[in-house]
Amino acid sequence: MTRIGLYGGSFDPVHLGHLLVAQAALEELQLDRLFFIPAAQSPFKPTSPPTPGAIRARMLRLALAGWPRTEVDLQELERGGVSYSVDTARQYRGRFPHARLFWLIGTDHVPALPRWRDADVLAELLEFVVIPRPGATPQPAEDRFRIHQLRGFQTAISSSEIRHRVMAGQPIQHLVPTPVGELILRDHLYRADAP
């Protein structure tokens, strides 16, 4: 049976922590393919508009260049508006009707799963894979959700930390893939004085 991984998020910017999660998921879940799915607008961050989708997609493509079994899926950016996981999950079930679908989520999202849009549908369509966070205690989930714990490579890198470092003029070269860092600096992304 084909095993498909779905990794949604803002990826604003994509960083080495995201890539370590991807590496662990590919290995531990024995995925045939892993799709990175940048959100148009996260329902969890309604007042924080992200960097334009075209720029985030470009950073993802730079970060994943040469990575086998990984792809960037722009369906949520193309749909626009608030990105709901259930819409994306339905699309993947239609595209891969017989595959096992694994959705990667942060440990902080586990208690909120019952409040996700069409949670019962998500519970039927997906198996959830919880990304470990340093110092975070695994959260219990309702029985209807199929939950796996990723062992992974625990890291505390966050996109918001990288944005703050750029604004403060601090280096980011060991936090993001080199071509992503070069793009951020060249195009003055995340700077207070950005054009």
Q: 3-state SS string over 69-101?
A: CEEECCHHHHHCCCCCHHHHHHHHHHHCCCCEE
**Domain-embedded: residue 14:** yes
The pTM assigned to this predicted structure is 0.93
Q: What is the mean pLDDT of the chain?
A: 93
Predicted pLDDT of residue 194: 57
Question: pLDDT tens for residues 51-86?
Answer: 999 999 999 999 999 999 999 999 999 999 989 999
**Domain-embedded: residue 72:** yes
**Domain-embedded: residue 144:** yes
Residue 82 in tokens: 């608030």
Query: CA-to-CA distance for 105 and 39, rounded, in angstroms?
Result: 13
CATH number at residue 87: 3.40.50.620
Q: Does residue 62 contact residue 19 with C-beta atoms inside 8 Å?
A: no
For residue 85, the enclosing domain spans: 3-155
**Domain-embedded: residue 174:** no
Q: Provide the domain count of the chain.
A: 1
- DSSP three-state, residue 164: helix
**Domain-embedded: residue 54:** yes
Cβ contacts of residue 194 below 8 Å, gap of 6+?
A: 188
**Domain-embedded: residue 89:** yes
**Domain-embedded: residue 40:** yes
pLDDT for 195 beyond 80:
no
**Domain-embedded: residue 172:** no
Question: pLDDT tens for residues 80-125?
Answer: 998 999 999 999 999 999 999 999 999 888 999 999 999 999 999 9
